[in-house]
A and B are shown apart, each in its own frame.
Chain A
Amino acid sequence: MTWRPTPGEPARPTAEVTNLPLAAVRGLAQTNWTLAQWQQLFPVYAEQGSVLADVELPPMVGDYRVIAGTLRFTPRFPAEPGVRYRAVFRAARLPGVTDAPEAFLSATFQVPANSTERTTVVEQIHPATAVLPENLLKFYIQFSAPMSRGHIYDYIQLRDKTGAAVELPFLEINEELWNPAMTRLTLFLDPGRIKRGVRPLEETGPSLVVGGTYTLVIDPAWQDATGTPLRTGFERTFRVVPPDRTPPDPAAWKLTAPPVGTRQPLRVTFDEPLDHAILQRVLRIIDPAEAPVAGTGELSEEDRTWSFTPTQPWRAGEHHLHVPTAIEDLAGNNIGKPFDVDLSVPPAGTDPSTNARVILPFLVQ
């Protein structure tokens, strides 16, 4: 009995028993066994390192085949580095064979464990400003490599200036808000402690209190996607200023138009820092022929400025910057609509539910 690589699939090794007696081959050919019955004859186990506990564990799922006198088990899933797999062959369970020995054969297989060198770090936390509003809605934590899911809130702490942890400052949801690559985590502050008139805010107060200094602390024990802890932790200290209940106002933005025929960037300076992720995704430039302009957008000055460099030189004429009203500032205020609308105050400006975007013209000449 041996383990050997599966052709074309080195990560899924096959366990096989060769030279089966002819009677056994005939016997197996006549069976229509379920997986559970195959597992009586030739179970394969993923060991968990404790003989006592391992006895209780079910065998692995996989495919059983008999080809040219050889019984093969191919696991359903690839072998995991560091896990030891044990195949057990019980010849006495072979159909059509009466004189098989009671003893069983066993063979193990193991892929070397992954390197435990710590390489992943927190690259940045947005917003990166030293001053944040009391009603800050979210942080984005950007990692240098994919991370792992599960119990992530154990590794994130908000501390006040005495070093004491703020109790439950974040919205903790089991689904966890990652990007598909799992290199960026979105961390919402508990909206129940931001929204006015909601019980947690009235009972416990906001997670961030104006005038306070806080540090967001990332624990280096947090594991990346390979199961290796971070190389170092990360800390971001900031001061808290009064809540921002004023929606962003594109009329106050400054657009610096680039010269025609060049690939110099269009610069847009906002009236306040805006949401890092949304800005990078939703802004769009339309040329005089109504076609979208291809290029690269970049945020700078702590998300107060957006520079757009076109792939092709600028054409002459009036261009337009399309800004969805759904963009948010750091407190989740949309264009024309604050995060929590005070119905006792008459509405001002655009209602995002009726206007999907604001269009800002700029002239390239």
Chain B
Amino acid sequence: MKLSTSLLSLTTAGSLLTLSATAANWTAGFQSGKPALKSISQLAFGPDGILFVADTKAAAIVALETGDTRQAPDGGTVKIEGLAQKLAALLGTRPEDILIDDLAVNPLSHQAYLAVSRGRGPTAVPVLIRVTAGSQLELVNLDTIKFSRAELPDAPIDGVVGDPKRQSNPRMESITDIAFLEDRVLVAGLSNEEFSSTLRAIPFPFKTVANGTSVEIYHGAHGRFETRAPIRTFVPFNVGNQPQLLAAYTCTPLVQFPLSDLKPGAKIKGKTVAELGNRNRPIDMLVYQKDGQEFLLLANSSRGVMKVNTDKIETVDGIAQPVPDGKTQGLKYETVSGWTGVDQLERLDAKTALVVRHTENGSINLESLPLP
């Protein structure tokens, strides 16, 4: 998820008026009914309580009108221990058959939403859970809801026709992250066949025909080598008035590029602002402000949560030369102590993060933590 950060950035950049002016039109073209989701892989909030759901199995993005539009003050806290057990009880199954695939927070109400899989096999049922005030879990009814749907552009190539042995196309693109920024949904994914690095931008409200642009993301190492670079996770943020993306590649660099680079057919390299190095497997990112400075938090499966001061992101030199052993270049980072086992990371409000974390005794907890 990522919108809360971009909304805040836009607000601070003085663009709130633009958002309000078009707010009435966001649900234009929505239909009422059952969105028939095959999976819920990633979540991201847009304006007016609209929740974007990435459905990897259906290769689609679905916008849901949650109706959760009541503005709530900052300062709420969340604590749920034994999340898998409680979700299993609610959904009538075993804790080991619960997977938590993503977490998003509505920037208006500060209510959290969880993408949950009831089951672990191909017939698993995707469900959307809302965490209400008082840390209660509630199933969001997706039988009747207002929604709008966009198929992912650039369907995979399919060759030989009429092959009776091929029952279905085995290719699938796992959506690794989505975000809403200004008037489009950005979608990063990784194919289970070719090594692609497509980042897509789908205009919202969704249109029926023209469904967005795709760009190829490349990583240029030291001005010499250039490879496709799939994005694992990314976060929109503003530098001045210019919307930017900060992306963590699967091959570990942290890269920045302006949103205006996302033009049809573009080949984007971006500026490498940090080399996080080996054993670095980024999971989630968020940006926030504290004491007048801008920070990035990066949850990482093997290094804990890293905090990066991004104030100087515009002036830091892109990393163009090899970084010697044990040294880091570009933006400096520190590991946030005590934030262990973080699997999902979101911003609950201006001063608080919300995490799904696993403890040493195997419990999965949802809890709010003051932003460091």
> Which A residues are within 8 Å of any B CB, using their own CB?
45-46, 48, 53, 56-62, 75-77, 79-80, 82-83, 85, 137-138, 146-150, 168, 171-182, 184, 186, 188, 190-193, 195-200, 202-204, 223-227, 275, 277-278, 280-285, 292-297, 308, 311, 322, 324, 326, 328, 332, 339-344, 353
Contacts and interface: CB of A to CB of B under 8 A. Distances in A.
B89 A59 contact: yes
Contacts of A332: 195
Given A178-B172, A292-B161, A192 B278 contact: yes
Kindly name the residue among B136, B139, B278 whose own CB sees the greatest number of chain A CB atoms within 10 A: B278
A177 B190 contact: yes
Interface residues of B, number: 87
A164 to B, nearest CB: 17
B322 A197 contact: yes
B225 A275 contact: no
27 contacts: A46-B88, A57-B86, A60-B91, A76-B139, A77-B93, A80-B92, A146-B122, A149-B120, A150-B99, A173-B250, A175-B174, A179-B192, A180-B122, A186-B192, A191-B227, A195-B219, A195-B225, A195-B227, A197-B225, A198-B221, A200-B252, A202-B322, A293-B161, A294-B161, A296-B165, A297-B160, A353-B267
B193 A186 contact: yes
Contact of A199 (B93, B120, B225, B277): B277
B137 to A, nearest CB: 7
B57 interface: yes
Contacts of B175: 175
Contacts of A177: 172, 174, 190-192
A329 to B, nearest CB: 11
B171 A281 contact: yes
A157 B273 CA distance: 33
A341 to B, nearest CB: 5
A110 to B, nearest CB: 12
A200 B221 CA distance: 12
A278 B156 CA distance: 11
Nearest to A191: B251
B89 A196 contact: no
Chain A CB count within 10 A is highest, among B120, B168, B216, for B120
B85 interface: yes
A68 B158 CA distance: 56
Given A180-B170, A281-B170, A341-B225, A296 B56 contact: no
Interface string B298-319: 0001100000000000000000
Given A61-B92, A173-B232, 16 more contacts: A77-B93, A77-B118, A180-B169, A191-B250, A192-B278, A196-B224, A199-B323, A202-B323, A225-B121, A277-B170, A278-B193, A285-B160, A326-B157, A339-B195, A342-B225, A343-B223
B226 interface: yes
Contact of B275 (A172, A199, A295): A199
B195 A191 contact: yes
Contacts of B167: 181
B292 interface: no
A45 B75 CA distance: 33
A198 B171 CA distance: 28
Given A192-B252, A353-B267, A199 B190 contact: no
B250 A171 contact: yes
B281 A172 contact: yes
Contacts of B157: 281-282, 324, 326
A281 B169 contact: yes
Give 6 closest A-B pairs by Cβ, nearest first.
Answer: A225-B121, A294-B162, A197-B221, A57-B89, A148-B120, A200-B278
B168 A173 contact: no
Contacts of B156: 281
A224 B122 CA distance: 10
Contacts of B125: 77
A149 B190 contact: no
B97 interface: yes
A80 B96 CA distance: 12
Given A80-B97, A149-B99, A295 B162 contact: yes
B291 interface: no
A192 B251 contact: yes
Contacts of A223: 120
Interface string B170-206: 1110111000000000000011111100000000000
Most chain A beta-carbon contacts within 10 A, residue among B86, B93, B170: B170
Contacts of A85: 92
Given A56-B82, A77-B93, A282-B158, A182 B250 contact: no
A61 B93 CA distance: 11
Contact of B224 (A61, A77, A280, A342): A342
B227 to A, nearest CB: 4
B195 A80 contact: no
Interface centre among B91, B165, B191, B283 (most CB of A within 10 A): B91
B14 interface: no
Nearest to B87: A58
